[in-house]
Copies of this chain bind each other. A is one copy, B any other.
Amino acid sequence: MSQRDWRPHYMQVAEELRDEILRGTLAPGGALPSEPELAARFGLSRTSVRNAIKQLRDWGLVRAEQGRGTYVRQQRQRVRRNHTERYQWEKDRARLPEQERRTTGATEHDTGLELPDLEFRASYSTTAATPELGRKFNIEPGTRMLQRDYWTSSRTEDSPLNIVRSYLVHDVVAANPDLLDQGNEPWPGGTQSQLFTIGIELDRIVDEITARPPLPEEADILKIEPGVSVLVLQKTSIDTSGAVVEYSEVVMPGDRTEIVYTTQLSRWAGK
């Protein structure tokens, strides 16, 4: 601890432990020394040591488990979602025979995981459109909506890869009663295939991406530390008549998700 280089003790401890983790001295999956041990090692109170550990958690480097210990986080299965390819790919599959659609879904496409490794849950409900939803769909607030909540998990890791809340106009999808039954999920071929059964073809999909800290509930479901970020994707699907037919919000853990877009540019004329 030299002269004017002064940062708080807890921060120095946090940085020292961070460096050990990055160097690999503390191995991924391995346990940190217990809080009393660290307190003794650095000559600090347990409170200060806990402060340092809080930093490491906010940096996403360690995970604390009640009654067990504090562990260096593993690099988890990464998910690379190439949306530019994925949306067209889904569209191309929507009209294929069911047997073929059933073979692979979009999540397998993203993760490279096999279908039996994935677990899929859905729950449907009907709600009245909020003013915000009314604006997005250009409909009256109060219109009956079909709300669908999904989450997809990897069986080997048991924490969900994402949480999805999707909205459709209820009376539109009611044209095919099968679409109102959550028991039919996962629907082979996904949403675009479902829309196809009621004669809807998509023209384009608009993705809006932001990032924020997780809500306590989301941190719990996605099994991430409260200090780790989530990516929020707001996806709006527009059909060939220009109407908004689906709006969904997807929450993904920021530490394991990578979203990819390719923008193809038109050529300069006269080359």
Stretch at the interface among A99-107, A137-145, A146-154, A207-215: A207-215
A187–B51 alpha-carbon span in the complex (Å)? 45
Q: Is the CB of B201 within 8 A of A213?
A: no
Instruction: Judge whether A240 is part of the interface by a CB distance below 8 angstroms.
Output: yes
Q: Is the CB of B231 within 8 A of A213?
A: no
Q: Is the CB of A207 within 8 A of B261?
A: yes
How far does the Cβ of A153 sit from chain B's closest Cβ, in whole Å?
20
Instruction: Judge whether A203 is part of the interface by a CB distance below 8 angstroms.
Output: yes
Return the chain B residue nearest A209 by Cβ.
B259
Within 8 A of B (CB), among A216-270: 226-231, 240, 254-255, 257-268
A45–B257 alpha-carbon span in the complex (Å)? 40
Q: Is the CB of A213 within 8 A of B60?
A: yes
How far does the Cβ of A160 sit from chain B's closest Cβ, in whole Å?
16
Jot down 5 A-B pairs with beta carbons below 8 A, ordered by A: A60-B212, A87-B263, A203-B264, A210-B257, A212-B255
